[in-house]
Chains A and B, each alone.
Chain A
Amino acid sequence: MTAPTGTDVDRGFRAPIGRSWLAIYRLQLRLLVTWGRLVTMLGLGALAVIIGAALGSGGRGTGTENATELVALYGLLLLLPVASLVFASSALGDPREDGTLVYLWMRPLPRWVTALASWAAALTITLPITVVPLTLAAALAGAPSDLVVATALATGVGAVAYTAVFGALGLRTRRSLLWGLLYLFIWEGFVANASDQAAQLAILAYTQSLLSAASGQPLDLAVVVAPWSWIVPLLVAAVALVYTVHRLRVQEVP
């Protein structure tokens, strides 16, 4: 090793952004994808496809009714938020928990690079394991093409928002899974049903609104009109990411 000159590094030095972003993104993908998580989530996705096929071959209602209920109940209420919670809360939550965050933090990088790369990795995993099976399930259940597209859109927009929010939660608190579940089941599953105002504070209301607008089927929380039904979740994601960057700046690193 050579001795440092002490002057070879300018104040304000930054590692190359693109290369660093890619390195963290690839690292997060490797860390997040474990066999247990992947098999479980793929299995739950496959279950949606099987039920979609069952509804399509002998369902009681119309294809639109069956597909809407399947996607709304199993997809938007359960699979999408839980998959997002599992992967996104681990992205920065696990390194924070096991003390490896220091190896990402103690680098000459803007904090947004770490935040954005981690979120992108969580989204990269969540999108295919939710959008693909739910879209396929909707198609198999007999949904018309615009409902199939709406399923993909609602799931995709929801994944963007949920992963950003749960990613921030993972960094903020040690028990992010429990707080995430509390939000999903107490707020989205219960309080949001009480009034339209409360519903507007639930991501589920936006995903259901997107689905309901395409299917024409009434859903409990479908209270938001376009274009807010897709603009607001994207704004929520942006705010959550800004918060994540802020936390990385001010939070104590274990």
Chain B
Amino acid sequence: MSVIELRSVSKWFGSVVAVSDVSFSIDRGVTALLGPNGAGKSTVLRMLCGLTRPSDGSVRVLGGDPATDPALARRIGIVPQQEGLFDKLTAVEFVTLAGTLQGLDDPGAAARRALEVVELDHADTRAVGGYSKGMRQRVKVAQALVHDPDVVFLDEPLTGLDPRQRKHMIELFGRLGDEGRCVLVSSHVLDEVERFGSRILVIVQGRLAAEGDFHAIRDLMDDRPHRIRVETDRPRQLAAGLLAEGVALGVRLDGPQAVLVDTVDAAAFRHAVGPVAVATGARLLAVAPLDDDLDSVFRYLVGR
């Protein structure tokens, strides 16, 4: 059984359908939940945490229903999207409270450890009400990790963090995944999501648009050619050879030493490009896919 399972889940608010017939399952490791603003990412995360119930379908986390089984909370950590914290408490008080309510034997020590993980000073006597946005975000992450949860849900956790903190946080998510936890991160900062790992869920207009490894998703997009840039000393000859070989849909010279190739079968192209270069006497200087990144996949799925 997967750690997380959604089966035919829909959620509507009055006449507005926020999530429509979404099914997926997730195992341990880091998975990114992507989608444009208003796509339904937060609603999916809120249903996974039990904060809101699905209008239809079923949600299972670790085999239980998070909306009706408070005991599940012991194994789930959540970083909600909203900024509100108990502003009068210090960071260590806030995280210790989380540890106490999670039933830890020594919540104070666990809180100090969790704050160290997010690079916050547990001896800071300031109340969190006076913290910057980035610091508040890290307090939220610390309270979600204080009880060593098996499953961690993070709703836009990189918001407000500076580049160094983002890098640190992304490394932390990766570490949590490597330790065998199930980590689901929603984000719209694609270049950073790309660094979490390659497993993604894409939600568009409340529906699941794609799931899995985004490179594999890219390969499935066979109605859209891959564009590859090949640097060579004989671009014209190489282009003609690739067309004659039948692995290129179209070619275009890109300056005196490069050719842009459109192909529907990237694997066949990879196999053919070497022999064609040899046959045409062209020296290959570089071969790079131009639209194989997450941003390209995402734009394709959202714009479809």
Contacts and interface: CB of A to CB of B under 8 A. Distances in A.
The reply to whether A and B meet directly (CB within 8 Å) is: yes
A27 B75 CA distance: 23
B163 to A, nearest CB: 24
A92 to B, nearest CB: 13
- Interface SS majority for chain A: loop
Contacts of A14: 70-71, 103
Contact of B51 (A2, A104, A253): A253
A18 to B, nearest CB: 11
A13 B52 contact: no
B253 interface: no
A172 interface: no
A106 B86 CA distance: 15
B85 A106 contact: no
Contacts of A216: none
Contact of B71 (A1, A3, A108): A108
Interface in A100-128: 100, 102-111
B88 interface: yes
A11 interface: yes
A100 B85 contact: yes
B168 interface: no
A19 B181 CA distance: 28
Contacts of A100: 84-86
B52 A252 contact: yes
Interface in A164-194: none
A99 B148 contact: no
Given A100-B84, A108-B73, A16 B103 contact: yes
Interface string B42-83: 000000011111000000000010001011111110101011
A1 B70 CA distance: 24
A2 B84 contact: no
A36 interface: no
A253 B103 contact: no
Contacts of B179: 1-4
B102 A108 contact: yes
A15 B80 contact: no
B70 A109 contact: yes
A27 B113 CA distance: 22
Interface string A74-102: 00000000000000000000000011101
Nearest to B96: A23
Query: Chain A interface residue count: which class?
Result: 35 or more
Contacts of B150: 4, 6
A254 B75 CA distance: 21
Contact of B82 (A4, A6, A109, A254): A254
Contact of B80 (A12, A24, A102): A102
B80 A108 contact: no
A249 B78 CA distance: 18
Contact of A4 (B100, B114, B148): B148
Contacts of B114: 1
A23 B51 contact: no
B130 interface: no
Contacts of B86: 27, 31, 100, 103
Nearest to B117: A1
B181 A3 contact: yes
B100 A108 contact: no
A107 B181 CA distance: 19
22 contacts: A1-B117, A1-B148, A2-B179, A12-B71, A14-B71, A20-B103, A31-B88, A98-B84, A99-B80, A99-B84, A100-B84, A102-B80, A103-B86, A103-B97, A104-B101, A106-B50, A106-B78, A108-B74, A108-B103, A109-B73, A110-B70, A111-B70
Interface of B: 49-53, 64, 68, 70-76, 78, 80, 82-86, 88-89, 97-98, 100-103, 113-114, 117, 143, 145, 148-150, 179-181
Given A1-B117, A3-B181, 10 more contacts: A1-B148, A4-B148, A4-B150, A11-B64, A14-B103, A16-B103, A106-B76, A109-B70, A109-B73, A254-B51
